[in-house]
Amino acid sequence: MSALSRFEQFMEGMVEGNVARLFRSPIQPAEIGKRLERAMESQQTISMDRILVPNAYKAHLHPDDYKAFEPVKTNLQHEMARYLAELARERGFTMVHHPNVELVADPAVKQRSIMIDGQISEAPAHLGGSTQMIGPTGAAISGQPTPPKANLILYTDQGEHRIPVKKSVTNLGRGLNNDLILEDSRVSREHAQLRYRARRFWISDVRSTNGTFVNGDPVQERELRNGDIVSLGGLELRFEEA
């Protein structure tokens, strides 16, 4: 079971319990979970062969919104921390210690808003003192990483366009919010995602209209190898690992 599926199952269990009133709050627990995930994704540090992400998170809520979560705060914080740990493991990220999530009442935050603060924090002294990196397998690791080197090559009437892959997560699509914007009617606004995980590059489809293909085969997610041809609804790019 994926981290997201298990987290959703936990949310369903809460609804079936005596805290259903929580879900009448303007802010849903799943929203906080998504914002935590976004904070983890957006605050990556790449060095050597590892991708470091924050392990200490604070979810700031307006005091009135915070009140709805107080009866289940401890369980919810624990479950959200567990969700982030599993998510990091699935995506090949490294944390310097097991994640911690804290819900905070903050009058500076507008009502119905969520502000997430994520930091890389060393292990507290009572947990062992020194920093201990937790890798994708859950085992303690040491050492420093190196940024992945790869290119996507787009062929047009004007010639070859070599696009360096500089991020561990690269969103591809027609929309202006993507890292790589492809102005082609065959490409969806949010089409695919290229991710560097566990020392490999992976391409995944993001519910596109015309599909994502690797060497002619339709894929939901596929590891890429040097020379693979990625097609986004018919627009082709060659993947080249340096």
Q: Where are the domains of the chain?
A: 3-119, 150-241
Domain 150-241: assigned CATH number:
2.60.200.20
3-119 and 150-241: same fold? no
Per-residue pLDDT of the chain (242 residues; tens, 9 = 90+): 566 666 666 655 554 444 445 445 678 888 898 899 989 888 877 644 567 789 999 999 999 999 888 888 888 898 899 899 888 888 888 887 889 999 999 999 999 999 999 988 765 433 444 344 454 444 444 443 444 689 999 887 767 888 888 888 889 998 878 888 888 899 999 999 998 887 889 999 998 999 999 999 999 999 999 999 999 999 999 999 87
> Does this model's pTM top 0.75?
no
Only one residue has tokens 């097991």, namely 98
Only one residue has tokens 């009135």, namely 64
Q: What are phi and psi of 42, to 5 degrees?
A: -85, -10
- Could you confirm whether domain 3-119 is CATH 3.30.2320.60? yes
Q: Which amino acid is at 14?
A: M
